[in-house]
């Protein structure tokens, strides 16, 4: 199998996919009326990265914007809630948390075909590989520290004090997530995977006790961050589609999967630190990274870490299965989406491995 350069494959923009093309003239007329200072002519391109909500770069002579919308077609229940994304980034932007400035939410499906929101364009770098090729040890160490500090800061907010007290149920988050993703997996299932069957049965009776309800991102990882061009610091956290109120330790342990992710040579593979010399790269061990988060938050995932990792590997397998369901429906947003199917079984098996450790 040919090794794919994920950095090259996912960076930048491409022409809009035919099934996801926007009516540029209609959109321009709407934004001129609704957004202060917006003036055409408008050029629309689609971002290469991302698997779920189609995301577009809107270029005008004076400013760039980003539009994120629901995909067209048949969708899984409760998925692709762009109105929730808009709400959470609006609340966090008001607290000077690193997110793009939200500018407009539009529920009128005649404008872009589906509901969408508009935000500012944040210039910077996206590292699609966790080992950060082309970087250096000092920069890698600083970026990982900034990534850690940013999620610690997110989990420090009292949801009620930032207007998000009713953003989710909060309690029993992991149990509800297991139930939700089991159902979503069943709704888009294409083949029987023994490890997924075992996990669907095992996880509900092994859920860790709930911690304090906090805003959780739901998909926090290095390639959902924009890093400043001139400094090793997080400029913006992207992709809030799965955000809600829930268990911060479940949210934090999600991006710990990078230290254990099954290796894949294809673009289908989720990026991994496996087989890399972390000390030489300047990247902390998972244990050291966890210790830093504990020091910042006082929250400790270690007593239940194997269960959290089993849950998160199960969850990402179910999310990828949903992408395969959208491939079947013809509404997947990435050209690499069909190849994701090959990763579902290894992810499920890794989840079951952690379940057995627990």
Positive/negative CA dihedral, 205, 211, 215, 217: negative
Count of beta carbons in the 10 Å neighbourhood of residue 15: 9
**H or E segment to which residue 227 belongs:** strand 225-227
79 and 144 in a single domain? The answer is: no
113 and 143 in a single domain? The answer is: no
Is the pLDDT assigned to residue 57 strictly greater than 90? yes
Does 145 fall in a domain? yes
Long-range contacts from 223-227, C-beta under 8 angstroms, 24+ separation:
223/10, 223/49, 223/126, 223/127, 223/128, 223/129, 223/130, 223/271, 225/126, 225/127, 225/147, 225/150, 226/122, 226/123, 226/124, 226/125, 226/126, 227/124, 227/125, 227/126, 227/127, 227/143, 227/146
Percent of the chain topping pLDDT 70:
87
Q: 217: domain CATH number?
A: 3.90.1200.10
In the DSSP assignment, the letter for residue 339 is G
234 and 345 in a single domain? The answer is: yes
Split at pLDDT 50, 70, 90, the class of 1 is very low
Does 129 fall in a domain? no
**Boundary residue ending a domain (64, 90, 120):** 120
Query: How far is 106 from 114, CA to CA, in rounded Å?
Result: 9
Give me the pLDDT at residue 326, please.
59
In the DSSP assignment, the letter for residue 145 is H
**Boundary residue ending a domain (63, 91, 120):** 120
Query: How far is 263 from 122, CA to CA, in rounded Å?
Result: 31
Average pLDDT of the segment spanning 1-14: 62
Q: 27: domain CATH number?
A: 3.30.200.20
Give me the pLDDT at residue 49, please.
65
Is the pLDDT assigned to residue 342 strictly greater than 90? no
| Token pair in block for residue 139 | 């920069």
**Boundary residue ending a domain (90, 120, 150):** 120
Average pLDDT of the segment spanning 74-95: 83
Is the pLDDT assigned to residue 113 strictly greater than 80? yes
50 and 106 in a single domain? The answer is: yes
Is the pLDDT assigned to residue 208 strictly greater than 60? yes
Asked whether the beta carbons of 271 and 6 are under 8 A apart, the reply is yes
23 and 114 in a single domain? The answer is: yes
Split at pLDDT 50, 70, 90, the class of 188 is confident
114 and 159 in a single domain? The answer is: no
Domain span holding position 113: 6-120
Average pLDDT of the segment spanning 302-330: 86
177 and 283 in a single domain? The answer is: yes
Does 186 fall in a domain? yes
Give me the pLDDT at residue 48, please.
79
Split at pLDDT 50, 70, 90, the class of 325 is low
Average pLDDT of the segment spanning 5-34: 84
In three state form, how does the secondary structure of 30-71 look?
HHHHHCCCCCCCCEEEEECCCCCCCEEEEECCCCEEEEEECC
Query: How far is 239 from 241, CA to CA, in rounded Å?
Result: 6
193 and 325 in a single domain? The answer is: yes
Give me the pLDDT at residue 20, please.
86
Is pLDDT larger for residue 330 or for residue 240? 240
104 and 155 in a single domain? The answer is: no
pTM over cut 0.85: yes
């Amino acid at each position: 199998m040919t090794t794919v350069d994920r950095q090259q494959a996912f960076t930048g923009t491409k022409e809009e996919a035919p099934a996801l093309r926007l009516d540029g003239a209609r959109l321009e007329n709407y934004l001129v009326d609704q957004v202060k200072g917006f003036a055409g002519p408008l050029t629309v391109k689609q971002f290469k990265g991302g698997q779920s909500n189609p995301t577009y770069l809107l270029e005008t002579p004076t400013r760039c914007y980003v539009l994120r919308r629901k995909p067209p077609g048949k969708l899984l229940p409760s998925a692709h809630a762009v109105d929730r994304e808009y709400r959470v980034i609006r609340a966090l932007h008001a607290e000077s948390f690193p997110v793009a400035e939200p500018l407009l939410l539009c529920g009128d499906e005649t404008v872009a075909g589906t509901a969408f929101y508009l935000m500012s364009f944040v210039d910077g770098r996206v590292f699609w590989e966790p080992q950060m090729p082309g970087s250096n040890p000092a920069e890698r160490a600083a970026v990982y520290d900034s990534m850690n500090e940013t999620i610690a800061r997110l989990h420090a907010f009292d949801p009620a004090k930032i207007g998000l007290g009713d953003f989710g149920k909060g309690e029993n988050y992991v149990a509800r997530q297991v139930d939700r993703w089991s159902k979503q997996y069943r709704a888009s299932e294409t083949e029987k995977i023994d490890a997924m069957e075992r996990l669907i049965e095992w996880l509900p009776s092994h859920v860790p006790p709930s911690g304090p309800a906090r805003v959780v991102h739901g998909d926090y990882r290095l390639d959902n961050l924009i890093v400043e061009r001139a400094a090793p610091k997080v400029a913006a956290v992207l992709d809030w589609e799965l955000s809600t109120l829930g268990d911060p330790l479940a949210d934090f342990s999600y991006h710990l999967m990078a230290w254990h992710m099954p290796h894949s040579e294809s673009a289908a593979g989720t990026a991994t630190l496996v087989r890399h010399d972390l000390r030489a790269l300047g990247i902390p061990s998972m244990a050291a990274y966890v210790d830093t988060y504990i020091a910042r938050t006082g929250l400790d995932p270690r007593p239940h870490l194997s269960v959290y990792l089993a849950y998160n590997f199960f969850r990402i397998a179910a999310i990828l299965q949903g992408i395969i369901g959208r491939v079947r429906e013809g509404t997947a947003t990435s050209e690499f989406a069909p190849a994701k199917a090959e990763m579902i079984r290894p992810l499920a098996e890794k989840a079951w491995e952690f379940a057995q450790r627990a």
